[in-house]
């Protein structure tokens, strides 16, 4: 039987690669994002029988409700929720950061994720489905300028693990995927500059959206009795050493 995934943030990066990987393995996908033309292109590439485009801003609860209510036959019974949509804005130290940037990250990475999860949970329980969330190494290891992004991803990592506890006995599988550097549009969005993004990844051999997508697909297709609780991935060139001291 064809299974259906609901993948947020499918207009770019990890989410787009995830839709492509899942469809290649026979899944149907609800693909979400604000950029309609990107979702239309995905439907054009993969087929309207495989991809349903749901264009909405995840911060808009009414739009989220309408997108869920409007799911057509064949896409309405969700077996897998991929909580992927998210962003960082800015790298300024907390004392200089823009409060609007902080609010955008909280609204997107925290509020929208928990809202969508809560709304889809009854169906996921009914079908003994799965939730895979994209947290981040930024939720475990601190770097300067990470502040609210790091906090939002610590929330994502822990909310996902907490879901596992609440869903104990339901048969729903829950996984927190926590990647390090993945070259997507993430750093262009964070810095507002494609050039800064190119400089950030230059020479680092970062992971790709496809690397994370193949991990998502692997986890989604494991036998029903097996749960990967959390998985942390980094490119070989990145590590987690971070202690610093300030001297007089
Ligand atoms: P991209 O910028 O390439 O993709 C982000 C996706 O999120 C886009 O599809 C975007 O769609 C969607 N999105 C952002 N804000 C909204 C919104 N308000 N409403 C709807 N959709 C939204 O970045 P990545 O693929 O790298 O990021 C995906 C996830 O992975 C994020 O949660 C990020 O925090 C996480 N992550 C990324 C890492 C990296 O190094 N790249 C490392 C660890 C975690 P649109 O703009 O069309 O709305
Ligand atoms: C972003 C991961 O390593 O670029 O979530 O900060 S990193």
Q: How far apart are CA 170 and CA 122, in angstroms?
A: 11
SS3 of 137, please?
A: helix
Q: Output the pLDDT for position 242.
A: 84
pLDDT tens-place string over residues 108-141: 999 999 999 999 999 999 999 999 999 999 999 9
Percent of the chain with pLDDT over 70: 100
Average pLDDT, integer, range 205-231: 98
Q: How far apart are CA 210 and CA 214, in angstroms?
A: 6
Q: How far apart are CA 6 and CA 68, in angstroms?
A: 10
The residues assigned a catalytic role are 149
Which of 16, 40, 184 most suits a substitution to test ligand 1, by most atoms within 8 Å of the C-beta? 184
* Distance in Å, CA 245 to ligand 1 centroid: 33
Identify the band that residue 106 occupies on the pLDDT scale cut at 50, 70 and 90.
very high
Which of 7, 10, 14, 53 most suits a substitution to test ligand 1, by most atoms within 8 Å of the C-beta? 14
* Distance in Å, CA 8 to ligand 1 centroid: 8
Neighbour-count burial of 115, counting CB atoms closer than 10 A to its CB (0-12 exposed, 13-18 middle, 19+ buried): middle
- Helices H / strands E in the chain, number of each: 9, 9
Average pLDDT, the chain: 98
Average pLDDT, integer, range 19-47: 98
Identify the band that residue 1 occupies on the pLDDT scale cut at 50, 70 and 90.
confident
Q: Which residues contact 74 (CB under 8 A, 6 or more apart)?
A: 2, 4, 28, 49, 52
Q: Output the pLDDT for position 139.
A: 97
Q: Which ligand has the nearest atom to the CA of 13? A: 1
**Ligand 1 contact, 86 CB (< 6 A):** yes
* Maximal C-alpha separation, the chain: 66
What's the DSSP call for residue 2?
-
Q: Output the pLDDT for position 231.
A: 98
Q: Which ligand has the nearest atom to the CA of 42? A: 1
Domains, the chain: 4-233 (3.40.50.720)
| DSSP H or E stretch at residue 183 | strand 182-183
Average pLDDT, integer, range 29-37: 98
Q: In Å, how far are 26, 191, 197, 200 from 194, measured between CA atoms? A: 34, 8, 5, 10
């Amino acid at each position: 039987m064809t299974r259906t995934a609901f993948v947020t943030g499918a207009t770019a990066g990890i989410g787009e690669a995830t839709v492509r990987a899942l469809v290649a393995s026979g899944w149907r996908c609800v693909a979400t994002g604000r950029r309609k033309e990107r979702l239309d292109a995905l439907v054009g590439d993969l087929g309207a029988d495989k991809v349903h485009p749901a264009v909405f801003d995840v911060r808009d609860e009414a739009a989220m409700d309408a997108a869920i209510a409007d799911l057509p036959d064949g896409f309405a019974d969700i077996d897998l929720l991929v909580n992927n949509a998210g962003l960082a804005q800015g790298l300024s130290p907390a004392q200089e950061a823009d409060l609007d940037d902080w609010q955008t990250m909280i609204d997107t990475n925290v509020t929208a994720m928990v809202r969508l999860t809560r709304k889809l949970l009854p169906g996921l329980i009914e079908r003994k489905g799965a939730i895979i969330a994209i947290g981040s190494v930024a939720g475990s290891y601190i770097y300067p300028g990470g502040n609210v992004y790091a906090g939002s991803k610590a929330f994502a990592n822990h909310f996902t693990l907490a879901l596992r506890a609440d869903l104990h006995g339901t048969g729903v599988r829950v996984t927190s995927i926590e990647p390090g550097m993945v070259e997507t549009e993430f750093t262009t969005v964070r810095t507002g500059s494609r050039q800064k993004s190119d400089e950030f990844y230059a020479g680092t051999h970062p992971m790709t959206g496809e690397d994370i997508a193949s991990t998502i697909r692997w986890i989604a297709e494991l036998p029903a009795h097996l749960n990967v609780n959390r998985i942390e991935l980094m490119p070989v060139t990145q590590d987690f050493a971070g202690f610093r001291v300030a001297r007089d």
